[in-house]
Amino acid sequence: MSQKTVNNIVLAVKIGLYILPVLSLIVAGNFFANIFMPGVGDLFFPFIAGKNFFFRIVVEILFGLWATAAIFDKKYRPHTSPIFWAVLATVGVLTLSTIFGENPYRSFWSNYERMEGLVAHLHLLAYFIILISVFKNETDWRRFFYSSIAVSFIITAYSYLQFMGKLEIHQSSDRLDATLGNATYLAIFLIFNICLAVYYLLKERRIWARSLLIFALVMEVPIVFLTATRGAILGLIGSAVLFSILMALLEGSRRSKILAGGIISVVLTLLGIFFALRNTDFINKNYVLKRFSDISLKEQTVKSRFTIWGMAFEGFKEHPIFGWGPENFNLVFNKYYKPQLWPQEPWFDRAHNVIFDWLIHGGILGLLAYLGAFILGLYTLWKKQSDKLAKAVFTALFAAYFFHNFFVFDNLTSYFMFFAVLGFIHFLGNIQPVNRSGAETFFAKYIAVIFIFLAVIFSLYFVNIKPLLAGQALLNTLKDIAVSAQNVDVVLGNFDKVFRYNTFGSGEAREQLSSYASNALAFNISNELKIKVLQKAISEMERQVAENPKDTRSHLFLSALYLKGGRTDDAFKALDKAQELSPKKQQIFFLQADALIGKGDNNKAFEILKKAYELDSTYGEATKNLALGAVLNNQSDYAEEVLMKTFGRAVIADQNLLTAYARVGNFKKVKDIWLLFIKNDPQNAQYRVNLAATYMQLGERQNAIKELQKAIEINPQFKAQGEQFIEEIKAGRNP
């Protein structure tokens, strides 16, 4: 291969790398996705999956091109450095953790929601190697980072449109998230680009470029604050202070010292003003400032973080060397679940702390390798080159990034920026490539190229195209369900299309099928079709349990399906296994009790509900369920006692409790509950009709007539039927 051809290949790789930052703009189904991934359409978790598939596909293609150039020209082969070995060690440890972990399949593939796992880290390693191999000068890196800054500015513009109400905020009602779909992801992405903009602003000599960088900084910093991401905001403030101090120490000039003093003074002044006004309406009516004023050890989010970190530490002690494997924190969360976490979401797959996440995913070796990338990056920055500005900027950036990650976790966009910065520091270290001796034959080079491109084609199909097609097929299935859910044969055929792809998307499809089967039992279809869809769902969920025997969630889905199908004994076995895997998860106790009540064993159900209640008596749902169990066991006084302790009243508006009182014939309590429902929603005509029926059970026929008359006033369409009921009651009959 001629040198000109090699150079053209390298140029193509560089252009691909310059384009790669647009991944942060991609949301499956949006404008950028249609340009770069035509035909893909929507995806599950569009803010995650679209970006990851784009990144993986581009990196695989660029890797094939780079490898070809490196085979024919040694100067494009990566040279080693401490950073290089740290990155390689991190992926190496994760590989071993995947092999020896609790669920190697999940550790390798992850799922649509996260799109990480070992496969993601292998792509990040390839991306890092390509960067350090083809970017040989300052111009290459500047173009790449300018591309990233340009993308960040587009995202900033999108954020301002969200702030002005012109575009929808996806994650919440007020925390900006742009095309990242998550406020924390947006915050750390912007912090990386803000630091890069500062670096090039102080190096740039072209007036127009400096002006654009200043404009980008002025626009982007406020967006970080509008994400209301406390860790990122504090990290940004701290990094600004650290940067100014480092510049003052490194330069030693009077100007830098004045600047450092000014920044520190401004920060301290603003903090003083904030604490002075923290209890005022000005603070409490601002959603960003309010989040900071609410920070305390008693705040629910803070308390839950400490609890989850403690659970993670228990899990680490069980597998200290290589951890549980990537993407397996869900197993730790379930096994060491603490009942006081009931106010949080029921299924956590991250510890929300970079230290504990790495301890679980890769054990102590994984954490040391990950921290090694930081440490050796700083070592290279401070020991191997003389760029004072780079030392100050990237040290401050690392501090902000690590502080932010102490409360959340990484994602593709933050990893993408982190690996790019590591690659740049590797370049700044001025490490010379080693002398590579040995002659490869012309034939061997072409054999290697053929092998590489076959591997790329294989990876493109099995790593990307198949999961993409499976995800698209699943979305099409759900769209069909929304349009014609009762067309069971068509729906099941669509689910089979997803399963035939045999990808990591099958797990998501099985859960969706389980939900569909549960709903199908209420459809106006034949019993034969109901049995068909239920059996299909059970069969698929049994496969899910077989593939993920330690996943509590799968056992719970299966137990619910067994109960729907009347297979009570099988349901109890699945629930027992779920409880073995997660001994203190109240949800499992509730399902066990529900199954026992269905079986008629109210006494045993009551004992189980009492255990769930005693795990944390502040849990309202546990209190309601215990009261229900007490009512079914004719212990109404005890039910009122526990309700009073938790809710401050002996009767609450709860449909399940109402049904329980009706079941034991205590219609006086049924009446009291309907009166509470009506108090909360006085214009609900159906509540009035139900109360009238209750009055009939109590023999209060005149009160029943009054409620029916009120129902007619609220809903005139009920008039004919309501008057008929009233005539029946006046005639002494029960309508």
For 603, other C-beta atoms within 10 Å of its C-beta total: 11
pTM of the model as a whole: 0.90
Q: Whole-angstrom Cα distance, residue 31 to residue 710?
A: 53
Question: Which pLDDT value is given to residue 38?
Answer: 55
Pick the CATH number of 585-676 from 2.60.40.1180, 1.25.40.10, 3.50.50.60, 3.40.50.1100: 1.25.40.10
Q: What is the CA radius of gyration of the chain?
A: 31
Q: Which residues of the chain have pLDDT under 70?
A: 29-44, 296-298, 384-385, 431-440
Nearest one of 174, 155, 50, 10 to 468, comparing CA atoms: 50
**pLDDT for 107-128, tens place per residue?**
999 999 899 999 999 999 999 9
DSSP character for 464? I
CA angle, residues 594, 596, 599, in degrees to nearest 5: 115
Torsion angle in degrees (nearest 10) through CA of 687, 691, 693, 694: 140
C-alpha distance from residue 347 to each of 308, 335, 575, 577 (Å): 12, 12, 17, 17
pLDDT on residue 386: 75
Cα–Cα nearest to 413, from 22, 125, 17: 22
pLDDT at 624: 95
**All structural domains of the chain with their residue ranges:** 3-428, 585-676, 681-735
Greatest C-alpha distance within the chain: 108
Give the DSSP letter string of 357-400. Answer: HHHHHHHHHHHHHHHHHHHHHHHHHHHS---HHHHHHHHHHHHH
**Residue 197: its pLDDT value, please?**
96
What span, in angstroms and rounded, lies between the C-alpha atoms of 511 and 490?
A: 18
Three-state DSSP class for 616?
coil
